[in-house]
């Protein structure tokens, strides 16, 4: 059984794909992680930023049979393909294949300066990958379609307030 965690300032019992003006690593979607401490940190950050609610982690089980029927892109590490995919999504210019789910490292506060320098042309691809290599990046699962979301099963809600 694979458990996935979504950190927020509220419980998310019915996930939705939210298209916003924010450009995210893997594009508009519903994001979770298999790293519970990462989800707790995200819940605390979201509660602090929004100044409402309480740090909440919603736990889901990933239906692996349902995943078999999905179009999935997976990046095991911060490799060239991941870097370029994230950069294109962050710039809002990705126009390649559409996936139901994308799995890969999360670009966090420690990695964003490197990715920003890469996107602005300050450093090249090879330098960016060298700088990213020592980072211990948590994973993220982005559900980009309603079909993808159908692979999640609500398990429980945990509050950390």
> Is 151 in a helix, a strand, or coil?
coil
Tokens of 87: 């950069």
pLDDT at site 134: 78
One-character DSSP codes across the chain: -EEEEEEESS--SS---B--SS--TT-SBEEEBS-HHHHHHHHHHHHHHHTSS--EEEEEEE-HHHHTTS-EEE-SSS-HHHHHHHHHHHHT---S---SEEEEE---TTTHHHHHHHHTTSS-HHHHHHHHTT--PPEEEEE-SHHHHTTEEEEEEEE--
pLDDT at site 136: 78
- Is pLDDT of 26 > 80? yes
pLDDT at site 73: 97
Mean pLDDT of 131-157: 92
Q: Give me the sign of the Cα torsion angle 31, 35, 38, 40.
A: positive
Task: Tell me the percentage of the chain whose pLDDT exceeds 90.
Answer: 80
- The total domain count for the chain is 1
Q: Which of 22-26, 95-99, 136-140, 152-156 has the highest mean pLDDT?
A: 152-156
Instruction: Give the tens place of pLDDT for each residue, 56-75.
Output: 999 999 999 999 999 999 99
Domain that holds residue 20: 2-159
- Is pLDDT of 154 > 80? yes
Instruction: Give the tens place of pLDDT for each residue, 103-139.
Output: 999 877 778 889 999 999 999 999 999 998 877 788 9
> Is 156 in a helix, a strand, or coil?
strand
Strand pairing category for 72-74 and 101-105: parallel
- Is pLDDT of 2 > 90? yes
- Give the sheet arrangement for strand 139-143, strand by strand: 30-32, 139-143, 101-105, 72-74
Q: Return the closest-CA partner of residue 146 out of 10, 3, 8, 19.
A: 19
């Amino acid at each position: 059984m694979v458990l996935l965690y979504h950190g927020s300032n509220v419980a998310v019992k019915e996930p939705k794909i939210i298209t916003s003006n924010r450009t995210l690593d893997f594009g508009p979607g519903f994001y979770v992680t298999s790293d519970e401490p990462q989800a707790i940190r995200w819940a605390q950050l979201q509660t602090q930023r929004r100044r409402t609610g309480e740090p909440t982690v919603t736990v889901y089980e990933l239906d692996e049979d349902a995943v078999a029927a999905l179009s999935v892109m997976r990046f095991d590490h911060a490799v060239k393909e991941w870097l370029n995919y994230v950069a294109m999504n962050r710039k809002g210019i990705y126009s390649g294949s559409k996936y139901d789910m994308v799995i890969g490292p999360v670009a966090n506060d420690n990695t964003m300066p490197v990715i920003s320098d890469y996107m602005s042309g300050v450093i090249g691809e090879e330098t960016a990958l060298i700088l990213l290599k020592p980072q211990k990046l948590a994973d993220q699962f982005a559900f980009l379609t309603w079909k993808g979301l159908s692979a999640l099963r609500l398990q429980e809600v945990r509050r950390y307030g």
